[in-house]
Structure 1
Amino acid sequence: MKKLKATMTLDQHFKIAEVDKRIYGSFIEHLGRAVYGGIYEPDHPESDNQGFRTDVINLVKQLQVPIVRYPGGNMVSAYNWEDGVGPKAERPRRLELAWRTIETNEVGTNEFADWAKKVNADVMMAVNLGTRGIDAARNLIEYTNHPSGTYYSDLRRQHGYESPHNIKTWCLGNEMDGPWQVGQKTAYEYGRLANETGKAMKQVDPDIELVACGSSSSTMPTFPEYEATTLDLSYDTVDYISLHQYYGNRSNDTANYLAKNLDMAHFIKTVTATCDYIKAKHRSKKTINLSFDEWNVWYHSNDQDKQIEPWVVAPPQLEDHYNFEDALLVGSMLITFLQNADRVKMAAMAQLVNVIAPIMTENGGGSFKQTIFYPYMHTSIFGRGVSLKPILNVPKYDARDFTDVPYLDAAAVHNEETGELTIFIVNKHLSEAMPLEVDLRSFTGYSLVEHIELYHEDVKAVNTMTHEAVKPQLNTFTTCELGHLSAQLKQTSWNVIRLKK
């Protein structure tokens, strides 16, 4: 039997692109316990004077999340932003149609902007293009971004916010191709509305960036024609097109499951090609980049969500409890973003707290890190700089839905300012470790800082409030001498190898 081994060559001149830190963004929607019981719980013993849970704030800070999408999601397509501003006692309780709950509107635009500052994140705000449109959107951006002297900017000041929030990233609706969406639109209907809404918003604030809705997933019957038509109608106005994708392991086929980031890579390449086709059609010099503003594993909670009674406040919806193999796929998805850093400029792990999230809480109780917390945290902290193209020679395998799947997924980020080089690697082999030899001769004077390893012998292992089964350890056997690195990558493992000049 042929012994498995892999080689990699890294050269600081093999650059893909500067990594936009916003690829490490996340998402808070008014859904389940993401807001109420997640980031906000006024009666919690660890809540601050605004009702925000400080234990959650501290965990989000550990992730160094640069931008958070808000308030939806499906929820935004029937949301009146005016319901969530002004005195809380006067805010209406509404039927929230997307998730069939009661929305109390205790948290709205101003409170979320305050929370984002507490976690050192910018806001990616979404506007309602389902039941509303140009007028509500231009009023909202006047409220958030205009200094003073107009109706909506002065209304914000009356609400206690003298200075504008200066929100610079805006989503023009959400998943408008989806039949589940309140106010679903054809590509032509949506493209026209997105263009005219975006034009009005940029009249109010010319410095904003706009994200148009692409397809809700790569399996939608109108993909990628929806992107092509939308961009054809709005190319000069918008700056990004969105991608959404979730994966699951319903067939309990781990080898196939761990290959699903190949589907994500194909999705990215197809959308990129569509953007560039419309660029050529318009004879434009402007490049539309990608905002992968919903992505994650989502399938564990599907059955329990069917049992939830409608029209209650903040029920436990979409509360996936992630296992170790989920963390491996999340790591590979993050590596896929880094491999496409030339076009993927923003992303949002959906979501951040309780709802398909790296952070879980108990109402009135504690909080803990799910397995997926760690690859997300490692890439966010160490994956800032220039994404490099590793030249990788690695064995491959075939799975049920994929052929020629590399056993290793790898990305590397070089930060010239700090003199740091970080290699991110997932070993997908279910039973064997993988020896790895890396040629680093281009990085003269770099030495090993640490090799962080996330591993568990049981790919179904989970973390709980009382026991953290899956957590990082140090691999002390990795060596780096004279421009040559040697490592032994455990079977089914996430690896972060850090070097410094």
Structure 2
Amino acid sequence: MSSTAQKARIVIDKAFKIAEVDKRIYGSFIEHLGRAVYGGIYEPSHATADSLGFRGDVKELVRQLGVPIIRYPGGNFVSGYDWEDGVGPVELRPKRLELAWRTVEPNEVGTNEFMRWAKEVGSEVMMAVNLGTRGVDAARNLLEYCNHPSGSYYSDLRRSHGYEAPHKVKTWCLGNEMDGPWQIGQKTPVEYGRLAYETAKAMRLVDPDIELVSCGSSSTGMPTFPEWEAVTLDHTYDVVDFVSLHQYYGNRDNDSANFLARTMDLEHFIHTVISTCDYIKAKKRSKKTMYLSFDEWNVWYHSNQADAKIEPWSVGPPQLEDVYNFEDALLVGGFLISFLRHADRVKMACLAQLVNVIAPIMTENGGRAWKQTIFYPYLHASMYGRGTSLQPIVDSPKYDAQDYTDVPYLESAVVYNEEDEELTVFALNRHLQDALDVECDVRGFEGYRVVEHIVLEHDDLKAVNTAAEENVKPHSRGNAECKDGFVHTRLAKASWNVIRLKRA
């Protein structure tokens, strides 16, 4: 810990309510890409595999994270996917050329298998439909297959495949990144808006109780952003519940101060999409508020060059296998803080992805599974970030980075669980040289005391975890103390902190 420290202050009060946290902001994503499925969650020859071939060691790690919802089956994959290929007897399923990632898809894992796996790890499923090469018909048929109880062609087909009870999938994505030129079946905003509207209309006739996500721009860097959101929502606003956001950040310039300031861009992204949604709400004289589904987000840049060497048309090659370092974990913590501070509008979010592919969990084929550095802030937020998000008033010293000015060293989010009488302060110190002495005013929480101060810190920003050695892991030796209504703590330089208070 640094011997020097700057000073910061946080004021917390029960009256500063943002919104109840929707637990689905701690969701994740499994796509038929690389070793996410084959060699990740599914490996029949593995020593821990269950009767369906799913790895037990991976299931245990997913359960630890408490992932409430998982997006499936893509991603770019879904825009060329025929869902019928992945149901029925496995031995009769076709092997297909998968064009999004130029692999062979064996279809050993499909809708029913994934639904069963998700249930075993305690997750709901956010199902995506193909609006690239397909459309209204395939989407309504898949919904009927999944959700209709019985007595129709597709519901009875599901029952004939051994799944008597409907899967009751509540949340559905209308395509994926449809403005991207890399997308199979790329659409203009008008083309997508019309197709998504008609698809949503048909799906709601099959099951009126579903939630639907309209596809937003692929990222803030797209030339279509945010006009895409305005045009497409002009069509879909009345028939959907969410608009999607996707964003990844990297540190190719090895400028850590600038990298850790990327949440400034994230905040701008969220505010811009909210503004666009509210413009369409006003234009339509609507009473409905559009919510945000941040259903792809993460750090992603380490694996780009390695993927260029992969031979095409193989099954489950090692694609997008970013090995995350300590500073990546800090930025992931910053993402989560931003989502909590926007709990009134960000209602779902999916860390992309869950296993092997830009993921918190890594595996060896036939071997070990382990936790990457980013596993821990994700775990902490999922465990302790459930309740009411409160708006902390933060007074922090600031710095200027290459792309951002007035970047606060201290980022914080606060969650109050009234039922359990627990208050959790998430705090990121992104100062790379100095500790931060923080005073936190909690006088509105009389009788509360610090029960744990979790810290994720490391002297080397580039430190990584491997199958053999977990170099970056949290400890509970933080120094936070509460006295006379104030929490005092010194946050180590470049550290992620979780300060938990409970009523004595």
Interval of TM-score (by shorter of Structure 1 and Structure 2): over 0.9
Partner residue of 1:479? 481
1:475 CA displacement:
2.5
Q: Quick check: 1:98 aligned with 2:100?
A: yes
1:445 CA displacement:
1.0
**Of residues 173, 185, 188 in structure 2, which corresponds to 1:186?**
188
Partner residue of 1:307? 309
Q: Distance in 2 between matches of 1:476 and 1:52?
A: 38
Q: Distance in 1 between matches of 2:282 and 2:479?
A: 51
Amino acid in the other structure paired with 1:21? K
Amino acid in the other structure paired with 1:303? Q
Amino acid in the other structure paired with 1:12? K
Describe the shift of the 1:476–1:410 C-alpha distance in structure 2 as closer, same or farther (beyond 3 A). Answer: closer
Q: What aligned pairs does 1:429-468 form with structure 2 within 5 A after superposition?
A: 429-468=431-470
1:3 CA displacement:
6.0
Q: Distance in 2 between matches of 1:365 and 1:171?
A: 34
Q: Distance in 2 between matches of 1:349 and 1:187?
A: 26
Q: Distance in 1 between matches of 2:482 and 2:282?
A: 47
Partner residue of 1:409? 411
**Of residues 105, 112, 115 in structure 2, which corresponds to 1:113?**
115
Q: Distance in 2 between matches of 1:391 and 1:89?
A: 59
1:156 CA displacement:
0.1
Q: Distance in 1 between matches of 2:410 and 2:461?
A: 17
If the length of structure 1 is used for normalisation, what is the TM-score? 0.99
Q: Distance in 2 between matches of 1:12 and 1:120?
A: 31
| Cα deviation digits, residues 317-350 of structure 1 (max 9, x gap) | 0000000000000000100000111100000000
**Of residues 158, 161, 164 in structure 2, which corresponds to 1:159?**
161
1:234 CA displacement:
1.1
| Cα deviation digits, residues 408-435 of structure 1 (max 9, x gap) | 1100000001111000011000011100
**Of residues 486, 491, 494 in structure 2, which corresponds to 1:492?**
494
* SS of aligned partner of 1:156: helix
1:474 CA displacement:
1.6
Q: Quick check: 1:20 aligned with 2:22?
A: yes
Supply the RMSD in Å over aligned alpha carbons.
Answer: 0.7
Q: Quick check: 1:150 aligned with 2:152?
A: yes
| C-alpha contact (below 8 Å) 2:5/2:436 kept by paired residues | no
Q: Distance in 2 between matches of 1:364 and 1:329?
A: 31
Partner residue of 2:328? 326
Q: Distance in 2 between matches of 1:95 and 1:314?
A: 12
Q: Distance in 2 between matches of 1:95 and 1:446?
A: 59
Q: Distance in 2 between matches of 1:393 and 1:476?
A: 21
Q: Distance in 2 between matches of 1:259 and 1:461?
A: 20
Partner residue of 1:383? 385
1:297 CA displacement:
0.3
- Provide the aligned length of Structure 1 versus Structure 2: 500
Question: Which aligned runs of 4 or more in structure 1 are off by greater than 2 angstroms?
Answer: none
Q: What aligned pairs does 1:186-205 form with structure 2 within 5 A after superposition?
A: 186-205=188-207
| Cα deviation digits, residues 5-39 of structure 1 (max 9, x gap) | 00111001101111000000000000000000000
Describe the shift of the 1:220–1:53 C-alpha distance in structure 2 as closer, same or farther (beyond 3 A). Answer: same
Partner residue of 2:273? 271
| Cα deviation digits, residues 393-452 of structure 1 (max 9, x gap) | 110000000000000110000000111100001100001110001111000111111000
Partner residue of 2:402? 400
Describe the shift of the 1:476–1:454 C-alpha distance in structure 2 as closer, same or farther (beyond 3 A). Answer: closer
* SS of aligned partner of 1:474: coil
Amino acid in the other structure paired with 1:500? K
If the length of structure 2 is used for normalisation, what is the TM-score? 0.99
* SS of aligned partner of 2:146: helix
Structure 2 unaligned blocks of 5 or more = none
| C-alpha contact (below 8 Å) 2:197/2:236 kept by paired residues | yes
| C-alpha contact (below 8 Å) 2:6/2:437 kept by paired residues | yes
Q: Distance in 2 between matches of 1:399 and 1:254?
A: 9
* SS of aligned partner of 1:488: strand
Q: Distance in 2 between matches of 1:478 and 1:440?
A: 13
Q: Distance in 2 between matches of 1:156 and 1:255?
A: 52
Q: Distance in 2 between matches of 1:234 and 1:85?
A: 30
Q: Distance in 1 between matches of 2:9 and 2:155?
A: 58
* SS of aligned partner of 1:266: helix
1:477 CA displacement:
2.4
Q: Quick check: 1:132 aligned with 2:134?
A: yes
Amino acid in the other structure paired with 2:13? D
Q: Distance in 1 between matches of 2:312 and 2:158?
A: 33
* SS of aligned partner of 2:6: coil
Q: Distance in 2 between matches of 1:375 and 1:235?
A: 34
Amino acid in the other structure paired with 1:237? V
Q: What aligned pairs does 1:145-294 form with structure 2 within 5 A after superposition?
A: 145-294=147-296
